[in-house]
């Protein structure tokens, strides 16, 4: 999460997982909830699942009410940002003076704050331990509180490590596409598939179970049962399928005889 009014004037500091910083946010801090105004928040696929279920909305309802689509620079892939209120402070729609009304299901970017992520890959076996940055925004008084963390401790405390693990295939897709030459573009159909799998889990579930998907892709029965009632498992299944469709990463094994495919575990 970033405060767009302040970011340009402040230099970020590069951190690793064992880097230490001092921070604590609570209701008695005078700047409480100020970091939830004038912000830009990219929502991850798991964020949308958590939030739309918290609000008891369908994927399409949540997307229509609370988000706006944008194209990510250097990837040409669609991303979803949180739609802010049209008030004097351009506030997050979920913030109140008393705090966040969806705190238990808050987005990944909010969980990270006051940290940000510069390297997106959180896949097991990645080349580095992570590249994070810590921005001391002038308005924030949480940095004056006497509580020290390592980056690793903060990620675990905020539950962001779990979010990163679930979103790992998605962030890897962004990283891989960003490394492509700029003249290599995805088709509109490919972008639509990326959008559906990433952000509209309800539509993707229909696509899998109410179309010819399972007759064309020979998916193991255990996996079918798992993804039928588990949206997180369905998302991770979909991202592996999407990676193969878009970038031919061989997450699926093709059966020439049946013209079908089974998922590699």
Same domain for 248 and 126? no
Domain with 193, as residue range(s), is 181-263
Cα distance between residue 117 and residue 107, in whole Å: 14
**pLDDT for residue 108:** 96
- Grade residue 261 by pLDDT with cuts at 50, 70 and 90: very low
**pLDDT for residue 123:** 52
Would you state the structure tokens that stand for residue 12, as one six-digit string?
A: 């970020």
- Grade residue 94 by pLDDT with cuts at 50, 70 and 90: very high
Q: How far is CA 123 from CA 31, 131, 167, 173, 194, in A?
A: 35, 13, 9, 11, 19
Cα distance between residue 193 and residue 212, in whole Å: 16
DSSP state of 12: -
Same domain for 156 and 101? yes
DSSP state of 17: T
Same domain for 253 and 138? no
In a domain, 50, yes or no: no
What is the three-class DSSP state of 193? helix
Same domain for 125 and 9? yes
The Cβ-side half-sphere exposure at 74, using a 13 Å CA radius, reads 7
In a domain, 226, yes or no: yes
What integer is the mean pLDDT of 180-199?
Answer: 87
Same domain for 150 and 252? no
Cα distance between residue 56 and residue 103, in whole Å: 15
Same domain for 233 and 159? no
Same domain for 256 and 213? yes
Same domain for 10 and 112? yes
Same domain for 217 and 102? no
Cα distance between residue 169 and residue 197, in whole Å: 12
Cα distance between residue 261 and residue 91, in whole Å: 46
In a domain, 74, yes or no: no
Cα distance between residue 94 and residue 106, in whole Å: 9
The distance from CA 264 to its chain's CA centroid, rounded to whole angstroms, is: 24
Same domain for 157 and 34? yes
pTM confidence score: 0.85
Report which of residues 181 and 93 the model is more confident about. 93
- With tokens 């801090």, the residue in question is 29
What is the three-class DSSP state of 254? strand
Report the share of the chain in percent with pLDDT over 70: 84
Run of H or E including 69: strand 67-71
Q: What's the structural domain count of the chain?
A: 2
Question: b/e map of 17-37 (b: 16 or more CB within 10 Å)?
Answer: eebebebebeeebeebbbbbb
In a domain, 158, yes or no: yes
Same domain for 156 and 186? no
The Cβ-side half-sphere exposure at 90, using a 13 Å CA radius, reads 10
Same domain for 198 and 140? no
Single out the residue in 166, 193, 215 at which a domain terminates.
Answer: 166
């Amino acid at each position: 999460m970033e405060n767009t009014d302040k970011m340009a004037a402040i230099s970020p500091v590069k951190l690793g997982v064992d880097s230490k910083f001092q921070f604590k946010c609570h209701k008695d801090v005078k700047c409480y909830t100020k970091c939830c105004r004038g912000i830009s928040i990219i929502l991850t696929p798991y964020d949308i699942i958590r939030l739309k279920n918290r609000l008891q909305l369908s994927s399409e309802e949540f997307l229509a009410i609370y988000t706006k689509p944008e194209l990510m620079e250097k990837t040409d892939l669609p991303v979803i940002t949180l739609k802010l209120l049209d008030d004097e402070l351009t506030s997050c729609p979920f913030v109140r003076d008393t705090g966040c009304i969806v705190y238990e299901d808050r987005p990944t970017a909010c969980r990270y704050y006051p940290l940000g992520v510069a390297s997106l890959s959180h896949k097991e076996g990645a080349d580095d331990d992570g590249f994070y940055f810590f921005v001391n925004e002038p308005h924030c008084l949480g940095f004056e509180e006497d509580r020290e963390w390592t980056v690793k401790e903060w990620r675990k405390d905020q539950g962001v490590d779990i979010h990163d693990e679930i979103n790992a295939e998605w962030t890897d897709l962004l990283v891989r596409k960003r490394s492509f030459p700029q003249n290599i573009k995805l088709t509109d159909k490919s972008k639509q598939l990326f959008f559906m799998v990433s952000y509209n889990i309800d539509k993707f579930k229909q696509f899998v179970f109410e179309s010819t998907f399972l007759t064309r892709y020979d998916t193991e029965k255990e996996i079918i049962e798992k993804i039928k009632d588990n949206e997180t498992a369905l998302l991770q299944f979909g991202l592996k399928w999407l990676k193969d469709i878009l970038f031919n990463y061989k997450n699926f094994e093709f059966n020439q005889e049946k013209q079908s495919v089974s998922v590699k575990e």
